[in-house]
């Protein structure tokens, strides 16, 4: 358990309490068990990004607020210089860099995602969330799992998909980087 997981879990529990939503109801709305929600809120389990996005939407906050505890500044334009996005490094093999973290009331969440290869034979962990997603492979190769299908993506390839269907990206060979734009 990391300090970051405990902090996010604490914010999640506090926001849920402020909104007056019972743990059982909130868990059901997020599509998880009350036991798993309790583990998340205590910082005992790592969160999938899809869960954080669903939870933030239900709580009426920006996903960056839930993850960082900071409210993005209201802006009508957000310029993110190379390497200066909001780093979100919480899940094994995935590093996210939020590219519009200061823009409030976004209609999309843009990320630069770096995926490290996993050992051969390790099954991908599929996640689902509301909305749609567009991914553009900037570097490397990925196996994109969507439902019961798998597609090989290489540099320059893109995919637009229903994010409500369980999905995952897995580096094929070396490290891969892709631009992910999540829209609700």
Name every residue whose Cβ is closer than 8 Å to that of residue 18 and which is 6 or more positions away in sequence. none
Q: Is residue 73 part of a domain?
A: no
- pLDDT computed for residue 67 by the predictor: 80
- pLDDT computed for residue 99 by the predictor: 86
What does 124-141 look like in DSSP terms, one character per residue?
P--B--SSEEEEEEEESE
Show the CA angle centred on residue 98, arms to residues 177 and 102, nearest 5°. 155
Question: What Cα–Cα distance (Å) separates residue 108 from each residue in 63, 70, 99, 132, 181?
Answer: 11, 19, 11, 9, 6
- pLDDT computed for residue 158 by the predictor: 97
Same domain, 53 and 92: no
Q: Hey, is 86 helix, strand or coil?
A: strand
> pLDDT tens track of the chain, all 184 residues?
578 888 888 888 888 887 788 999 999 998 889 999 999 999 888 888 788 888 888 887 878 788 877 766 556 677 888 877 777 665 566 778 888 877 777 889 899 999 988 887 788 888 888 899 999 999 999 999 999 999 999 999 999 999 999 999 999 989 999 999 999 8
- Rg of the chain over all Cα atoms, to the nearest angstrom: 16
Q: What is the CATH number of the domain that holds 39?
A: 1.10.260.40
With contact defined as beta carbons under 8 Å apart, do 162 and 132 qualify? yes
- pLDDT computed for residue 57 by the predictor: 83
- pLDDT computed for residue 92 by the predictor: 64
Same domain, 169 and 91: yes
Q: Is residue 75 part of a domain?
A: no
Name every residue whose Cβ is closer than 8 Å to that of residue 110 and which is 6 or more positions away in sequence. 98, 99, 100, 179, 180, 181, 182
Q: Is residue 112 part of a domain?
A: yes
Q: Total domain count for the chain?
A: 2
End-to-end Cα separation, the chain, in angstroms: 30
Same domain, 46 and 100: no
Strand order in the sheet with 167-171: 149-154, 141-146, 167-171
Residue 134's domain comprises 86-183
- pLDDT computed for residue 180 by the predictor: 94
């Amino acid at each position: 358990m990391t300090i970051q997981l405990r902090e996010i879990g604490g914010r999640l529990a506090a926001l849920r309490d402020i909104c007056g939503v019972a743990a059982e109801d909130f868990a059901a709305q997020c599509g998880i068990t009350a036991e798993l929600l309790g583990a998340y809120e205590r910082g005992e389990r790592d969160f999938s990004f899809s869960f954080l996005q669903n939870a933030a939407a239900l709580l009426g906050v920006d996903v960056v607020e839930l993850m960082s505890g900071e409210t993005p500044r209201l802006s009508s334009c957000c310029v993110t210089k190379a390497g200066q996005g909001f780093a979100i490094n919480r899940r094994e093999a995935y590093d996210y860099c939020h590219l519009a973290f200061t823009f409030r009331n976004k209609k999309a969440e843009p990320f630069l995602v770096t995926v490290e290869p996993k050992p051969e034979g390790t099954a991908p962990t599929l996640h689902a969330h509301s909305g749609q997603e567009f991914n553009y492979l900037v570097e490397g190769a990925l196996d994109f799992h969507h439902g019961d299908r798998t597609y090989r993506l290489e540099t320059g390839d893109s995919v637009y998909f229903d994010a409500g269907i369980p999905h995952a990206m897995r580096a094929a060979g070396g490290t891969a980087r892709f631009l992910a734009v999540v829209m609700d």
